[in-house]
Structure 1
Amino acid sequence: MQQRGKILRDTRTGPGLVIVDGHQYSFTLEGIWRSSEAPAVNMTVDAQFDETGALTALLAVPDAQLAREKADEAMAAVKAHGGQLAARVGMGTLVGTGLLAVAWFALNTVSVQLTPGMKMGMSLWKLLGVLNASGDAMAALSGNGGSAGMYGVLTIVALAGPAASYFVRDARAQLANCLPLLFLLGIALAFYSGISSSLSQAQGAAMAFGGNGAADVVGAMTREVMRAISIGAGGYLGCAVSLYFAATGVLKFFAKRG
């Protein structure tokens, strides 16, 4: 029998702890953990049990699979109410919102070139988990994160923004089309501020212990890190759709005011 669970405690200092369907189970790497990556707190896993209910195996669920499952759930909901929803909010808005969901949840917003032959990508949703968990965007380079928290709430509000004008008659509701773009700008600023703060602290510590020479070395490493970060397909798609929504919203606002 297989069920979904979440890691509550990793195995760095002793046995790990996983919660499945409200029940907690202790586990070790030997014989139980079946994935190449180490278990981490808040990681989603597939837990396997034998006939007696004893935990026999744990496998990490890739982020891409989780994103696909969320997209499948969203598509199922759209299919169930698609006709009514499309008639109410318009096919363009519905398709654009779907593309935003794919860009933010399923595609990589940023990619990090770790080695010449190895690149790691992260979706916007994963970056939000990092920002919410620690406020330290540099932690994203190690793939550590957790719940999106308040950032997740803002994500849903931004996704729902373009549909607001179909439910509120006031002309100003058209400006809610700008919410996805404003959300992206805010997240980009938070991410950049987190990286800048972390690197500034690293340079300050290096100067305190090693003088200007050490600070110069950290500065050179900083430039290499920044060059290794690039925008992924999700970032470009999210920006394009957000700009489209913002432009149409502003134009419709002035048209209704005029």
Structure 2
Amino acid sequence: MTNNSTYQMISGKILRDGQNGNGLVSSNGEQYEFSIEKHWKSDTPPKLGASVNIEIDSSGQLLSVQALDIQSEMSQRFKQMSGKVQTEGLPAVKELAQHIQKDFVALVGIPRIVIFVGLLLSWYVLNTLVIQVSARYSVDFNLFELLGVVSNGGLDSLGRGKAPSSGFYGFLAWVSALLLFMPLVWKHRLAAWGAAAPLIFMVLTMLSLWFKIRSGSSQANSMAAGLGGDMAAQMADQMMKAVMQAISLGLGFYVAMAFAIAGAFIAFKESR
């Protein structure tokens, strides 16, 4: 059993994970080298930048390093605050909300939260696709409106300026965004790859849309050729080329791709 007069438990951060030689932790301006075999006491390997509990003796010598279980601390703190809410009322409720917000940010990290919010804004608010109908008139579609085209194959809805419901593809968009937080529910190194889901979704969605447009173009050419011969097919082909030239990617696409690439970078970095 640890004697508090002899040993001290402090919190710190991992500066070097110790996968190649000794690791390094820092706390209150002090740095301590540690060995995975001798000092590391957690079941999962040390991760660069992770929060840890550091045990040192009275002379300042490192005794052990253990990963900080933020979820367990959150659960324990929530139980304590819940009891406080019952006795103190509204002031304790405000304090509890502040603790939940602080702990959530500490658990998932600010980058993931920023990427999640950025994706939703770029998907819902900004335009992903622009159709220039005339010199003065254009039709804009956000991602979820565009997903209706992919989901229902309604390429003709682009011409009407109204996209069908996003349906199952809209559900997949939300799933891909929420997978940013997969490490919350799956404690495994591979869970970090959930942050790459938005990029995969964006790429597959745009490829699917491109194939649908190409398929629609081929069908139009075949129908025109069947009705009016080669001349009609050439006219249909020219019309489709004009349509393709009128379609351009909007600001929302580039913003969403930037956030999605940032998520993929986090996935690559944290899974190493």
- TM-score relative to the length of structure 1: 0.64
Q: How does 1:177-216 map to 2 (within 5 A)?
A: 177-216=195-234
Letter in 2 for 1:244: A
Letter in 2 for 1:146: P
Contact 2:157 2:164 in 1 (8 A): no
| 1:10-62 deviation per Cα after TM superposition (whole angstroms, max 9, x unaligned) | xxxxxxxxxxxxxxxxxxxxxxxxxxxxxxxxxxxxxxxxxxxxxxxxxxxxx
Q: Distance in 1 between matches of 2:103 and 2:255?
A: 27
Contact 1:129 1:149 in 2 (8 A): yes
Letter in 2 for 1:144: K
Give 2:105's match in structure 1, choosing from 61, 82, 86: 86
Give the structure 1 partner of residue 168 of structure 2: 150
Q: How does 1:7-156 map to 2 (within 5 A)?
A: 82-132=101-151, 134-156=152-174
Contact 1:161 1:177 in 2 (8 A): yes
Distance 1:136 1:88, change over 3 A: same
Distance 1:138 1:251, change over 3 A: farther
Contact 1:136 1:194 in 2 (8 A): no
Give the structure 2 partner of residue 236 of structure 1: 254
RMSD of Structure 2 on Structure 1 (CA)? 2.1
Q: Distance in 1 between matches of 2:246 and 2:143?
A: 18
Q: Distance in 2 between matches of 1:188 and 1:161?
A: 20
Shift of 1:80: 11
Q: Distance in 1 between matches of 2:150 and 2:99?
A: 34
Letter in 2 for 1:224: A
Distance 1:127 1:80, change over 3 A: farther
Give 1:162's match in structure 2, choosing from 180, 192, 199: 180
Q: Distance in 1 between matches of 2:236 and 2:226?
A: 12
Q: Distance in 2 between matches of 1:190 and 1:94?
A: 28
Letter in 2 for 1:120: V
- TM-score relative to the length of structure 2: 0.61
Residue 176 (str. 1) matches residue 215 (str. 2): no
Q: Distance in 1 between matches of 2:126 and 2:245?
A: 21
Q: Distance in 2 between matches of 1:230 and 1:205?
A: 26
Tell me the secondary structure at the aligned position of residue 133 of structure 2: strand
Residue 245 (str. 1) matches residue 263 (str. 2): yes
Identity over aligned residues, as a percent? Answer: 28
Shift of 1:199: 1.3
Q: Distance in 2 between matches of 1:185 and 1:80?
A: 38
Larger radius of gyration: 2
My pick for the range that moved more, 100-109 or 187-196, is 187-196
Contact 2:154 2:164 in 1 (8 A): no
Q: Distance in 2 between matches of 1:146 and 1:81?
A: 39
Contact 1:162 1:176 in 2 (8 A): yes
Letter in 2 for 1:105: Y
Give the structure 2 partner of residue 58 of structure 1: none
Unaligned runs of 5+ in 1: 1-77
| 1:175-222 deviation per Cα after TM superposition (whole angstroms, max 9, x unaligned) | 111100110111112211211111111111111111111111111111
Contact 1:175 1:253 in 2 (8 A): yes
